[in-house]
Amino acid sequence: MNFAELKVLRPDLAFIADWVKPHAHVLDVGCGDGVMLDHLQTDKHCTGYGIEIADDKVLACAKRHVNVIQQDMENGLKMFADNSFDSVLCLSSLQMMKQVEALLRDIARVADEAIVSFPNFGYWQHRTALLMGKMPVSKALPYQWYDTPNLRCATIADFNDLAHEVGLEVIDCVALHNGQPIRWMANLRGSLAVFRLRKKGL
Amino acid sequence: MTTNSSLPDAIAAGSVGIVAPQTCHFAEPLPLQSGAQIADYTLMYETYGTLNADKSNAVLICHALNASHHVAGVYVDQPKSVGWWDNMVGPGKAVDTNKFFVIGINNLGSCFGSTGPMHANPATGKPYGADFPVVTVEDWVNAQARLADVLGIQQFAAVMGGSLGGMQALAWSVMFPERLRHCVVIASTPKLSAQNIAFNDVARQAILTDPDFHGGDFYAHGVVPRRGLRVARMIGHITYLSNDDMGEKFGRELRNGDYQFGFGIDFEIESYLRYQGDKFSDYFDANTYLLITKALDYFDPARKFDGDLSRALSNTQAQFLVVSFTTDWRFAPERSREIVQALVSNRRTVSYAEIDAPHGHDAFLLDDTRYLNLVASYFDRIGATV
């Protein structure tokens, strides 16, 4: 999948793809239908694997000729050796995890760099909904409180703290809205938080 | 279009149709891992589809314990003789014979046509019996490679197998890294566990202690160690099914509605296992069962590398698809994950699917849409390279 196609299909991923170095060995944790790896393989000559649990998404990856390993991310990344990847992606899936901290530590273990994205709970629509006394339902969080797969709600400020805690240094943090970076009052105006992280001490 | 009502249904449903086995004789002795050799031998095989001009579309399918070269299609006038992986291989199926030239080879030591213990030992003129040399997965792969040479196939598009067949596919990737582009390993393991070996040995003991076994020379006595074979098959069969599947199919259902207070058949599961055992003892050879279970026990490509599977797989060049089934306790998903982990550590191209199917080890032979669709998608990818 080339960049133009990805930009139409998933503008958020197109923005993030820019942060991945050409020829990088990449692990995409929660890779979904494999569209990101598909793009990184064809346009940036990256190698690597996606991890996904859902049968239909594993099949979609196979159809895209993306290497996928079917596994529950809650079980961590023990299949992968220390520092075995150039970069780990964990895009819009961290918020569905029970073991967020353990997974983040594992991500820091298997690669020097990581890119993590999640719906920003501090986005103004979400704040407004709470002020009105209701749980937010938006394009970024399109579920009712009783059927959401998202177990964790975090803001950009919250994640900063945890990243530091697990030994990751924040190199860059951008809030995206409809795939466009928001520079001014990001934690309020951006619906998707994107962190570029590096192992501390590198 | 008219249909011939005497043809089996399978032909209407995308079967390769009527097939016939072929044989290939090898006069050059085959050196075996044990140090012994087989002086000369015949391999039985079947092919489906057409080999393309540059011979790049060949797929080798390796068989498991009680199967053979008869992978797909039916034999003329034998409507029940449908191949053991007919649901996988055929026109429009996951391994599409419109695109691929598929080969099934019967392994040495088998009882389905390739040279085995029931055939005459050229040294004595009598059946080999217990003198048939112990063959390993690697020996089979060497024999298969010789047939590939005869067919002019330098490199397979894929080598594929389930269970023991998956071990052969894995061995191919290690022994002949440049001779396969893809390696498909289903419901398999990089080595047997102590529990796996234990089950195999109980089965072997059942055969070895049957008075009709005669030290393997039962052919000369005109008998078959049927009791041993039956028990061996019953034990094996238990390990092929999941507890849930067995519970669902049979539960504690009684054959005759009430307890019989004897040692005949009370429960349906007893009836089923005895039926399977009887059927098996009608067609399977006791020496073959011993040989094949030993080949299973001995398989351990990491053994030469101090148990390090990553090093064992470090010279592989193929791309891999590894598939396991969640309820398979014979070769559980964890065993497939060991293969995947070793491949990942070598940065090999590998995909791994864990199919949530209820049928235990046998699931690799059964129809499951998720499983067959996944294999079909993977073979589409292979097809793009032929």
Q: Is B282 annotated in the active site?
A: no
Tokens of B35: 């140090």
CB contact A157 to B (< 8 Å):
no
Q: Catalytic pick from B68, B110, B163, B336?
A: B163
**What pLDDT score does B187 carry?**
98
DSSP strand E in chain A: where? 25-29, 47-52, 68-70, 85-91, 111-119, 168-177, 180-182, 192-199
CB within 8 Å: A62 and B381: yes
ipTM: 0.94
φ, ψ for residue B209 (rounded to 5)? -95, 0
Tokens of B161: 């197998």
CB within 8 Å: A84 and B341: no
- Bridge partners, residue B71, by sequence: none
Helices and strands (DSSP H and E) totals, chain B? 11, 12
**What pLDDT score does B6 carry?**
47
Find, among B186, B148, B192, B193, the residue nearest to B169 by Cα.
B186
**What pLDDT score does B13 carry?**
66
Tokens of A61: 């990856």
State how far the Cα of A107 lies from the Cα of A89, in Å rounded to an integer: 9
Q: Which residue numbers in chain A have pLDDT < 70?
A: none
| Residues of A whose CB is below 8 A from B340 | 69, 79
**What pLDDT score does B3 carry?**
41
CA-CA distances (angstroms) from residue B337 to A63, A77, B342?
Answer: 22, 12, 8
CB within 8 Å: B337 and A79: yes
φ, ψ for residue B267 (rounded to 5)? -95, 150
State how far the Cα of A91 lies from the Cα of A192, in Å rounded to an integer: 10
Q: A49: distance to nearest CA of chain B, Å? A: 8
Task: Give the end-to-end CA distance of chain B in Å, rounded to a whole number.
Answer: 32
**What pLDDT score does B8 carry?**
54
**What pLDDT score does B2 carry?**
39
CB contact A168 to B (< 8 Å):
no
DSSP B155-172: SEEEEEEETHHHHHHHHH
State how far the Cα of A137 lies from the Cα of A145, in Å rounded to an integer: 8
Q: What is the reported pTM? A: 0.95
Pairing mode, strands A180-182 and A168-177: antiparallel
What's CA B324's distance to the chain center, in Å? 15
Q: Is B237 annotated in the active site?
A: no
Tokens of A121: 């709970």
State how far the Cα of A13 lies from the Cα of A20, in Å rounded to an integer: 11
Q: B211-270, pLDDT tens digit by residue?
A: 999 999 999 999 999 999 999 999 999 999 999 999 999 999 999 999 999 999 999 999
CB contact A54 to B (< 8 Å):
no
Partner residue opposite B341 with nearest CB, options A47, A65, A79? A79
Q: Is B15 annotated in the active site?
A: no
Q: Residues B130, B131, B132, B136: is their CA dihedral positive or negative? A: positive
CA-CA distances (angstroms) from residue A164 to A161, A185, B100, B312?
Answer: 5, 22, 53, 39
Q: Which residue numbers in chain B have pLDDT < 50?
A: 1-6, 10
